Amino acid sequence: MASYKKNEARDWAREKLVGVINCTIPSFSNDLTRLNEKAIRHDTRLAIEHGFIGSLGVSEVSITLDEYIDFLAMMKDEAAHRLVITHHASWNTLEQNIEAIQKAEAAGAEFVLLSYPPAFYPESEDDIYNYTKAVCDATNLAVMIFPMFLWGFSPRIHASDIPASLIRRLIDDCPNLAAIKAEGGFPSIQSVIECDRLFGREVVISMPIEGELIPLSQIMPIQLSATSDHEYWGPLIPQVFNLLRNGEFDKATEIYWRMHPARKAKGLVAQQMHGGHFINRYVWKFQGWLQGYNGGPLRMPTQRIHDPQMLTLRKGLIDAGLNPSMEPFREFFIGRHPM
């Protein structure tokens, strides 16, 4: 259960959500019949070691709801109070999402990233409002809404994906709407600036994209970077975040440019694999493996990753001086804690 009440969600978020939240992708046994608890605990511990304040338990893989709740419970048990366990509200229907969020709350999640199902086709702002409010109403947890092109709301609803007028209504009517993952109209930076200007005194504004986090933090206050595949960088994003919070902009800028080869490699692989309109979780799992996370197999149906992409991602880290794993790629598909 959360350590705060529903009407305290925003105060809790303002106080506790200062830092960087990464992603933990479930790990499975090598025959893919069950969760790999040792590997999940390993990834949770490494996230803490790398300086993350929280981790998103990714649900957008082939996993049952019962398995997913067990996965979150393993993360919570391993982390105790050292990580904000974040529920990924990304299931097939509104009804499934309500069931999942309530079970996640009981399992120890404290924060929610709200997504929208692939079959959800809103034709008005009211449709998005009703879905979002129904999820918020179903839980006491602090919820982060996510304006993003992945949902397909633009241009049908608004170019910013979830317009400010709708966000205003939701903030007014959902007391546990505590954060905004501001990627509306991506790759534009207008969404994060607009959200900060209009709502930054009421809710926490998150900038999850490190390539925008580092420069924007030098001209506007950003207290949260959540949620993203920050594990590709090992402990670097929490480190540079702390530099930014301390006003050490020259040091942060030096790191930004040092990271650039890996940033370009990451963008190239994203274009090759899915053009930006799909999130390839195998790629994200491999990125983490390069920095010591478990890796390991994912169930079908899943996208794939091949040698050219793996080589590109590893070389990007090498060129950035970030010392990725040099183990044979076959080891990624086995995992660091096979079972």
pLDDT tens, residue by residue, 77-118 = 999 999 999 999 999 999 999 999 999 999 999 999 999 999
Class of residue 38 by CB neighbours under 10 A (exposed 0-12, middle 13-18, buried 19+): middle
Task: Kindly tell me if the per-residue pLDDT of 228 is higher than 70.
Answer: yes
Question: How far, rounded to the nearest angstrom, does the alpha carbon of residue 261 sit from its chain's CA centroid?
Answer: 22
How many of the other CB atoms lie within 10 Å of CB of 289? 27
Q: Which two tokens stand for residue 177?
A: 């709407």
Predicted confidence at residue 270, as pLDDT, reads: 86
Predicted confidence at residue 87, as pLDDT, reads: 98
pLDDT tens, residue by residue, 24-64 = 999 999 999 999 999 999 999 999 999 999 999 999 999 99
Domain boundaries, the chain: 6-248
Task: Kindly tell me if the per-residue pLDDT of 276 is higher than 60.
Answer: no
pLDDT tens, residue by residue, 140-169 = 999 999 999 999 999 999 999 999 999 999
Of the chain, the percentage scoring pLDDT greater than 70 comes to 99
CA distance 265 to 299: 26
Task: Kindly tell me if the per-residue pLDDT of 277 is higher than 80.
Answer: no
Pick the CATH number of 6-248 from 3.20.20.70, 3.90.1150.10, 1.10.645.10, 3.40.640.10: 3.20.20.70
Least confident of 174-178, 272-276, 322-326: 272-276
